[in-house]
Amino acid sequence: MPLFLILLIACKKAENTNTDANAKDSTATVATSGVPLPSWNDGALKSDIIAYVTKVTKEGSPDFIPVEHRIATFDNDGTLWAEKPYVQELFAFYRVKKMIEAKPELAQKQPFKAVVEKDKSYFEKGGDKALIELVAATHTGMTVDEFEASAQEFLKEAKYPGKNVPLKQIRYQPQLELLDYLRANGFKTFIVTGGTIELVRAISADFYGIPKEQVVGTSFKYKFDDATNSIKREPALDLFDDKEGKPVGIQLHIGQRPVFACGNEGGAGDLAMLRYSSGSKYPSFQMIVNHNDSIREYNYQEKDNLSLNTAAKYKYHVISMKDDWKKIFPDK
Protein backbone atom coordinates (compact mmCIF):
# COMPACT_ATOMS: atom_id res chain seq x y z
CA MET A 1 0.00 0.00 0.00
CA PRO A 2 1.39 3.45 -0.89
CA LEU A 3 2.93 5.20 2.05
CA PHE A 4 0.81 8.30 1.63
CA LEU A 5 -2.29 6.13 1.64
CA ILE A 6 -1.28 4.62 4.92
CA LEU A 7 -0.76 8.08 6.24
CA LEU A 8 -4.20 9.20 5.26
CA ILE A 9 -5.28 7.15 8.23
CA ALA A 10 -3.14 9.48 10.27
CA CYS A 11 -2.44 6.93 12.92
CA LYS A 12 1.17 6.00 13.34
CA LYS A 13 1.11 3.09 15.69
CA ALA A 14 4.63 1.97 14.94
CA GLU A 15 6.28 5.22 15.83
CA ASN A 16 7.23 7.09 18.89
CA THR A 17 6.39 10.59 17.76
CA ASN A 18 7.00 13.81 19.59
CA THR A 19 5.59 16.68 17.64
CA ASP A 20 7.14 19.60 19.45
CA ALA A 21 8.17 21.98 16.75
CA ASN A 22 9.47 25.43 16.26
CA ALA A 23 8.95 27.06 12.92
CA LYS A 24 11.74 29.53 13.23
CA ASP A 25 15.20 28.75 14.44
CA SER A 26 16.59 31.51 16.61
CA THR A 27 20.14 31.22 15.30
CA ALA A 28 18.92 33.62 12.59
CA THR A 29 20.43 34.49 9.27
CA VAL A 30 23.78 33.11 8.21
CA ALA A 31 25.91 34.68 5.52
CA THR A 32 25.98 32.38 2.48
CA SER A 33 28.49 34.08 0.22
CA GLY A 34 31.47 31.89 -0.55
CA VAL A 35 31.35 29.54 2.43
CA PRO A 36 29.57 26.26 1.59
CA LEU A 37 26.85 24.85 3.84
CA PRO A 38 26.60 27.77 6.32
CA SER A 39 23.63 26.21 8.15
CA TRP A 40 25.58 23.03 8.83
CA ASN A 41 27.54 22.92 12.07
CA ASP A 42 31.24 22.33 11.67
CA GLY A 43 32.00 18.71 12.38
CA ALA A 44 32.75 15.30 10.88
CA LEU A 45 29.70 15.13 8.61
CA LYS A 46 30.10 18.58 7.08
CA SER A 47 33.81 17.82 6.52
CA ASP A 48 32.99 14.46 4.94
CA ILE A 49 30.52 16.04 2.49
CA ILE A 50 33.00 18.71 1.46
CA ALA A 51 35.88 16.21 1.22
CA TYR A 52 33.77 13.94 -0.98
CA VAL A 53 32.67 16.69 -3.35
CA THR A 54 36.22 18.05 -3.53
CA LYS A 55 37.82 14.72 -4.42
CA VAL A 56 35.28 13.63 -7.05
CA THR A 57 35.41 16.95 -8.87
CA LYS A 58 39.21 17.15 -9.02
CA GLU A 59 40.26 16.43 -12.57
CA GLY A 60 43.08 13.92 -12.85
CA SER A 61 42.27 12.43 -9.43
CA PRO A 62 41.55 8.66 -9.37
CA ASP A 63 38.26 9.57 -7.66
CA PHE A 64 37.18 12.00 -10.40
CA ILE A 65 33.59 11.59 -11.62
CA PRO A 66 32.80 12.90 -15.12
CA VAL A 67 30.10 15.54 -14.92
CA GLU A 68 27.47 13.43 -16.73
CA HIS A 69 27.67 10.88 -13.92
CA ARG A 70 27.36 13.37 -11.06
CA ILE A 71 23.80 12.36 -10.25
CA ALA A 72 22.43 13.27 -6.82
CA THR A 73 19.04 12.00 -5.62
CA PHE A 74 17.07 13.25 -2.64
CA ASP A 75 13.93 11.91 -1.09
CA ASN A 76 11.43 14.72 -0.41
CA ASP A 77 9.18 14.04 2.63
CA GLY A 78 11.33 14.09 5.76
CA THR A 79 14.49 14.71 3.73
CA LEU A 80 13.93 18.07 2.01
CA TRP A 81 10.89 19.19 3.98
CA ALA A 82 8.86 18.12 7.02
CA GLU A 83 6.55 15.12 6.86
CA LYS A 84 4.36 15.53 9.98
CA PRO A 85 1.85 15.43 8.35
CA TYR A 86 2.59 14.66 4.70
CA VAL A 87 1.68 17.49 2.34
CA GLN A 88 0.18 14.79 0.10
CA GLU A 89 -2.29 14.05 2.87
CA LEU A 90 -3.23 17.72 3.20
CA PHE A 91 -3.81 17.83 -0.53
CA ALA A 92 -6.10 14.79 -0.48
CA PHE A 93 -8.23 16.41 2.21
CA TYR A 94 -8.23 19.70 0.29
CA ARG A 95 -9.49 17.87 -2.78
CA VAL A 96 -12.28 16.25 -0.76
CA LYS A 97 -13.35 19.67 0.50
CA LYS A 98 -13.31 21.22 -2.98
CA MET A 99 -15.20 18.33 -4.51
CA ILE A 100 -17.89 18.53 -1.85
CA GLU A 101 -18.20 22.30 -2.38
CA ALA A 102 -18.85 21.63 -6.06
CA LYS A 103 -21.15 18.68 -5.40
CA PRO A 104 -22.50 18.75 -1.83
CA GLU A 105 -24.21 15.36 -2.06
CA LEU A 106 -20.74 13.76 -2.07
CA ALA A 107 -20.54 14.48 1.66
CA GLN A 108 -23.11 11.72 2.18
CA LYS A 109 -21.10 9.24 0.13
CA GLN A 110 -18.07 7.22 1.09
CA PRO A 111 -15.17 7.75 1.19
CA PHE A 112 -15.90 11.51 1.35
CA LYS A 113 -18.23 11.07 4.31
CA ALA A 114 -15.52 9.42 6.35
CA VAL A 115 -13.13 12.28 5.67
CA VAL A 116 -15.72 14.95 6.52
CA GLU A 117 -16.61 13.16 9.73
CA LYS A 118 -12.96 12.39 10.52
CA ASP A 119 -14.00 8.75 10.74
CA LYS A 120 -10.65 6.99 10.94
CA SER A 121 -12.32 3.66 11.58
CA TYR A 122 -13.76 3.70 8.04
CA PHE A 123 -10.28 3.61 6.55
CA GLU A 124 -8.94 1.24 9.16
CA LYS A 125 -11.73 -1.23 8.50
CA GLY A 126 -11.84 -0.70 4.74
CA GLY A 127 -8.10 -1.18 4.36
CA ASP A 128 -6.46 -0.73 0.99
CA LYS A 129 -9.74 -0.79 -0.87
CA ALA A 130 -11.20 2.22 0.93
CA LEU A 131 -7.99 4.19 0.65
CA ILE A 132 -7.48 3.51 -3.02
CA GLU A 133 -11.09 4.54 -3.48
CA LEU A 134 -10.29 7.89 -1.81
CA VAL A 135 -7.16 8.58 -3.83
CA ALA A 136 -8.83 7.48 -7.04
CA ALA A 137 -11.69 9.86 -6.27
CA THR A 138 -9.43 12.81 -5.42
CA HIS A 139 -6.28 12.37 -7.56
CA THR A 140 -7.48 10.76 -10.80
CA GLY A 141 -10.32 10.85 -13.28
CA MET A 142 -9.21 14.25 -14.50
CA THR A 143 -6.72 15.50 -17.05
CA VAL A 144 -3.15 16.25 -15.99
CA ASP A 145 -3.79 19.92 -16.76
CA GLU A 146 -6.78 19.97 -14.40
CA PHE A 147 -4.79 18.17 -11.73
CA GLU A 148 -1.93 20.63 -11.98
CA ALA A 149 -4.28 23.61 -11.74
CA SER A 150 -5.86 22.13 -8.63
CA ALA A 151 -2.45 21.41 -7.08
CA GLN A 152 -1.27 24.96 -7.77
CA GLU A 153 -4.38 26.41 -6.19
CA PHE A 154 -3.87 24.27 -3.07
CA LEU A 155 -0.17 25.10 -2.79
CA LYS A 156 -0.76 28.84 -3.05
CA GLU A 157 -2.90 28.97 0.08
CA ALA A 158 -1.73 25.98 2.09
CA LYS A 159 -0.46 26.47 5.63
CA TYR A 160 1.35 23.75 7.52
CA PRO A 161 -0.67 22.42 10.49
CA GLY A 162 0.80 23.12 13.89
CA LYS A 163 3.11 25.79 12.52
CA ASN A 164 0.71 27.90 10.50
CA VAL A 165 3.43 28.79 7.97
CA PRO A 166 3.39 28.59 4.18
CA LEU A 167 4.77 25.30 2.84
CA LYS A 168 8.01 26.97 1.74
CA GLN A 169 8.90 27.36 5.39
CA ILE A 170 8.85 23.65 6.13
CA ARG A 171 11.80 23.09 3.79
CA TYR A 172 15.10 22.34 5.51
CA GLN A 173 17.52 25.24 5.07
CA PRO A 174 20.68 23.06 5.32
CA GLN A 175 19.39 20.83 2.51
CA LEU A 176 18.68 23.85 0.28
CA GLU A 177 22.31 24.81 0.77
CA LEU A 178 23.45 21.25 0.05
CA LEU A 179 21.46 21.18 -3.21
CA ASP A 180 23.07 24.48 -4.22
CA TYR A 181 26.53 23.28 -3.24
CA LEU A 182 26.20 20.07 -5.26
CA ARG A 183 24.88 21.94 -8.31
CA ALA A 184 27.71 24.46 -8.06
CA ASN A 185 30.01 21.45 -8.36
CA GLY A 186 28.40 20.05 -11.49
CA PHE A 187 25.95 17.63 -9.87
CA LYS A 188 22.51 17.24 -11.36
CA THR A 189 19.98 17.11 -8.52
CA PHE A 190 16.86 14.92 -8.58
CA ILE A 191 13.97 14.35 -6.22
CA VAL A 192 12.98 10.69 -5.82
CA THR A 193 9.78 10.72 -3.79
CA GLY A 194 7.15 8.29 -2.60
CA GLY A 195 4.66 11.12 -3.13
CA THR A 196 2.79 11.49 -6.40
CA ILE A 197 4.98 12.84 -9.15
CA GLU A 198 2.76 15.74 -10.29
CA LEU A 199 2.23 17.18 -6.83
CA VAL A 200 5.98 17.42 -6.23
CA ARG A 201 6.58 18.71 -9.75
CA ALA A 202 4.20 21.54 -8.97
CA ILE A 203 6.68 22.92 -6.40
CA SER A 204 10.08 21.46 -7.34
CA ALA A 205 11.41 24.40 -9.37
CA ASP A 206 10.16 27.11 -7.03
CA PHE A 207 10.97 25.32 -3.77
CA TYR A 208 14.21 23.50 -4.65
CA GLY A 209 15.48 24.77 -8.00
CA ILE A 210 14.77 21.32 -9.46
CA PRO A 211 12.92 21.22 -12.80
CA LYS A 212 9.86 19.02 -13.29
CA GLU A 213 11.76 16.50 -15.42
CA GLN A 214 14.14 15.86 -12.53
CA VAL A 215 11.37 14.63 -10.25
CA VAL A 216 10.79 10.88 -9.96
CA GLY A 217 7.72 9.85 -8.02
CA THR A 218 4.71 7.65 -7.57
CA SER A 219 2.67 7.72 -10.76
CA PHE A 220 -0.78 6.75 -11.92
CA LYS A 221 -1.53 5.31 -15.34
CA TYR A 222 -2.05 7.91 -18.05
CA LYS A 223 -4.14 7.72 -21.18
CA PHE A 224 -3.84 10.10 -24.11
CA ASP A 225 -7.05 11.21 -25.79
CA ASP A 226 -6.53 12.64 -29.26
CA ALA A 227 -9.98 14.21 -29.58
CA THR A 228 -9.56 16.46 -26.54
CA ASN A 229 -5.76 16.56 -26.90
CA SER A 230 -5.29 15.75 -23.23
CA ILE A 231 -3.96 13.09 -20.92
CA LYS A 232 -6.34 11.53 -18.41
CA ARG A 233 -5.15 10.25 -15.04
CA GLU A 234 -6.56 6.77 -14.63
CA PRO A 235 -7.43 5.31 -11.22
CA ALA A 236 -4.64 2.71 -11.35
CA LEU A 237 -1.15 2.93 -9.91
CA ASP A 238 1.71 2.83 -12.40
CA LEU A 239 4.79 2.94 -10.17
CA PHE A 240 4.82 3.07 -6.38
CA ASP A 241 8.07 4.95 -5.96
CA ASP A 242 8.98 3.93 -2.43
CA LYS A 243 11.28 1.29 -0.94
CA GLU A 244 12.35 -1.14 -3.73
CA GLY A 245 10.34 1.02 -6.14
CA LYS A 246 12.91 3.82 -5.82
CA PRO A 247 15.77 2.10 -7.68
CA VAL A 248 13.20 1.16 -10.33
CA GLY A 249 12.04 4.78 -10.67
CA ILE A 250 15.66 5.95 -10.77
CA GLN A 251 16.57 3.52 -13.53
CA LEU A 252 13.47 4.38 -15.53
CA HIS A 253 13.77 8.17 -15.24
CA ILE A 254 17.51 8.76 -14.80
CA GLY A 255 19.07 5.66 -16.33
CA GLN A 256 22.05 5.35 -14.04
CA ARG A 257 22.94 4.90 -10.38
CA PRO A 258 23.20 8.11 -8.34
CA VAL A 259 26.61 8.76 -6.82
CA PHE A 260 25.08 10.88 -4.06
CA ALA A 261 21.85 9.86 -2.36
CA CYS A 262 20.05 11.20 0.66
CA GLY A 263 16.95 9.90 2.44
CA ASN A 264 15.59 9.83 5.98
CA GLU A 265 14.70 7.43 8.72
CA GLY A 266 11.05 7.32 9.68
CA GLY A 267 9.48 4.86 7.28
CA ALA A 268 12.52 3.00 5.91
CA GLY A 269 11.47 4.13 2.43
CA ASP A 270 14.89 5.20 1.23
CA LEU A 271 17.10 2.22 2.02
CA ALA A 272 16.83 0.62 -1.42
CA MET A 273 17.75 3.95 -3.07
CA LEU A 274 20.84 4.30 -0.87
CA ARG A 275 21.82 0.71 -1.52
CA TYR A 276 21.46 1.20 -5.28
CA SER A 277 23.62 4.31 -5.06
CA SER A 278 26.30 2.44 -3.12
CA GLY A 279 26.70 0.07 -6.08
CA SER A 280 27.98 2.85 -8.33
CA LYS A 281 31.31 2.18 -9.98
CA TYR A 282 32.31 5.70 -8.88
CA PRO A 283 33.02 6.82 -5.31
CA SER A 284 29.59 7.37 -3.80
CA PHE A 285 28.03 9.04 -0.78
CA GLN A 286 24.89 7.95 1.08
CA MET A 287 23.20 9.89 3.84
CA ILE A 288 20.17 9.52 6.14
CA VAL A 289 18.38 12.29 8.03
CA ASN A 290 17.76 11.28 11.65
CA HIS A 291 14.70 13.07 13.02
CA ASN A 292 15.96 13.46 16.55
CA ASP A 293 15.20 17.13 17.16
CA SER A 294 12.07 17.38 19.26
CA ILE A 295 12.67 21.06 19.98
CA ARG A 296 13.19 22.52 16.54
CA GLU A 297 11.44 19.89 14.36
CA TYR A 298 10.03 16.52 15.46
CA ASN A 299 11.42 13.43 17.09
CA TYR A 300 10.33 10.15 15.52
CA GLN A 301 12.18 6.89 15.26
CA GLU A 302 11.39 3.62 13.52
CA LYS A 303 10.30 0.98 16.01
CA ASP A 304 12.77 -1.55 14.62
CA ASN A 305 15.40 1.12 13.91
CA LEU A 306 15.89 -0.44 10.47
CA SER A 307 17.15 2.68 8.70
CA LEU A 308 19.77 3.57 11.27
CA ASN A 309 20.85 -0.06 11.68
CA THR A 310 21.25 -0.35 7.93
CA ALA A 311 23.18 2.92 7.87
CA ALA A 312 25.56 1.49 10.46
CA LYS A 313 25.92 -1.78 8.54
CA TYR A 314 26.77 -0.13 5.22
CA LYS A 315 28.53 2.92 6.67
CA TYR A 316 26.02 5.45 5.37
CA HIS A 317 26.36 8.92 6.84
CA VAL A 318 23.71 9.98 9.34
CA ILE A 319 22.54 13.58 9.73
CA SER A 320 21.68 14.32 13.31
CA MET A 321 19.21 17.17 12.89
CA LYS A 322 19.91 18.14 16.47
CA ASP A 323 23.69 18.28 16.18
CA ASP A 324 24.56 18.76 12.51
CA TRP A 325 22.13 21.51 11.60
CA LYS A 326 22.67 25.03 12.86
CA LYS A 327 19.18 25.95 11.77
CA ILE A 328 16.32 23.84 10.44
CA PHE A 329 13.94 26.07 8.51
CA PRO A 330 14.51 29.05 6.25
CA ASP A 331 13.54 32.47 7.53
CA LYS A 332 11.02 32.83 4.72
Query: Which positions lie near a copy of itself, rule CB under 8 A?
Result: 68, 71, 144, 188, 190, 197-198, 201, 205, 211-215, 219, 222-224, 226, 229-231, 238, 244-248, 251-256, 272, 275-276, 278-279
SS3 120: helix
215-225 and 230-239 beta bridge pairing: antiparallel
| Nearest distance from C-beta of residue 210 to a copy of itself, angstroms | 11
**Which of 260, 274, 298, 327 minimizes the C-alpha distance to 69?**
260
| Nearest distance from C-beta of residue 172 to a copy of itself, angstroms | 23
Give φ, ψ of 36 to 5 degrees. Answer: -75, 150
DSSP 172-198: -HHHHHHHHHHHHTTPEEEEEEEEEHH
Which C-beta is closer to a copy of itself: that of 47 or that of 251?
251
For residue 158, give every residue at least 6 positions away whose Cβ sits within 8 Å of its Cβ, in sequence order, or none. 87, 90, 91, 94, 166, 167
| Nearest distance from C-beta of residue 99 to a copy of itself, angstroms | 23
| Nearest distance from C-beta of residue 18 to a copy of itself, angstroms | 31
Compute the radius of gyration of the chain from its Cα atoms. Answer: 20
| Nearest distance from C-beta of residue 252 to a copy of itself, angstroms | 6
Q: How far apart are CA 254 and CA 5, in angstroms?
A: 26
Which C-beta is closer to a copy of itself: that of 97 or that of 275?
275
| Nearest distance from C-beta of residue 229 to a copy of itself, angstroms | 4
Q: How far apart are CA 145 and CA 69, in angstroms?
A: 33
Q: How far apart are CA 296 and CA 188, in angstroms?
A: 30
Which C-beta is closer to a copy of itself: that of 169 or that of 280?
280
Which C-beta is closer to a copy of itself: that of 12 or that of 69?
69
Q: How far apart are CA 35 and CA 39, in angstroms?
A: 10
| Nearest distance from C-beta of residue 281 to a copy of itself, angstroms | 9
Which C-beta is closer to a copy of itself: that of 39 or that of 280?
280
263-294 burial code (b ≥16 CB/10 A, e <16): bbbbbbbbbbbbbbbbebebebbbbbbbbbbb
Which C-beta is closer to a copy of itself: that of 174 or that of 247?
247
Which C-beta is closer to a copy of itself: that of 276 or that of 300?
276
